[in-house]
A = this chain, B = another copy of it.
Amino acid sequence: MTPLKMKALQPLMRKVMEEYIAFNRVLGLKVESFDPQAPKLRFDMRPDLVGNPTRQILHGGVISATLDVAGGFVIMLNLVAAMDSVPTSFPNMGTIDLRVDYLRPGRGKYFVATARIVRKGSRIAVTHMELHNDAGELIATGAAAYLVG
């Protein structure tokens, strides 16, 4: 697909990511970049997302959920980019497994998740993901395998 056609699909892809996928809405995820090499999802800190009331840091589950979404998003972008024409439905895929390394307490005003594809097969894709806070600190990293196509 041409970059132009990809660009035309962005509003729809944003709607899918930010609204149609209900739990993404709960997390408050917003697409900040559609770059297929390194897309970005952003969300603001909110009281609902806290995991430790004393320390006021992100719940580990918010981190793992966001990293999983970021991995799926980079794959979706690449699958769509590889299509000949505008898809009538979004590509089907499923997470096989996920690993998250929690590196620093999830402290910040907002957080940005990125992902890149490290293996891209006809059936399997593997992604690496990172979550940074607004100060640019690396909060967590992840790796996931996805079944595609």
Which residues of A approach B to under 8 Å, CB–CB? 20-27, 47-53, 59-62, 64-66, 68-69, 72, 94-105, 118-119, 123-124, 126, 128, 138, 141, 143, 145, 147
Q: Is the interface of A mostly helix, strand, loop or mixed?
A: mixed
CB neighbours of A61 from chain B (8 A): 23, 27, 61-62, 64-66, 68-69
Q: How far is the CA of A118 from the CA of B97 in the complex (A)?
A: 13
A-B contact pairs, 9 of them (CB 8 A): A23-B49, A27-B61, A59-B65, A60-B65, A64-B65, A96-B101, A96-B145, A97-B100, A98-B98
Q: Report A99 CB to chain B, min CB distance, Å.
A: 5
Residue among B53, B68, B99, B104 making CB contact with A143, cutoff 8 Å: B99
Q: How far is the CA of A24 from the CA of B128 in the complex (A)?
A: 26
Q: Contacts A62-B65, A143-B141 known; A52 to B21 CB distance under 8 Å?
A: yes
Q: Contact check, A98 vs B95: say whether CB atoms are below 8 A apart.
A: no
Q: How far is the CA of A104 from the CA of B48 in the complex (A)?
A: 28
Q: A64-B68, A128-B141 are in contact. List 10 more A-B contacts (CB 8 A).
A: A22-B48, A23-B61, A26-B49, A61-B62, A62-B65, A64-B100, A96-B124, A97-B97, A101-B143, A141-B143
Q: A68's closest neighbor in chain B, by CB?
A: B60
CB neighbours of A145 from chain B (8 A): 96-97, 101, 145
CB neighbours of A53 from chain B (8 A): 20-22
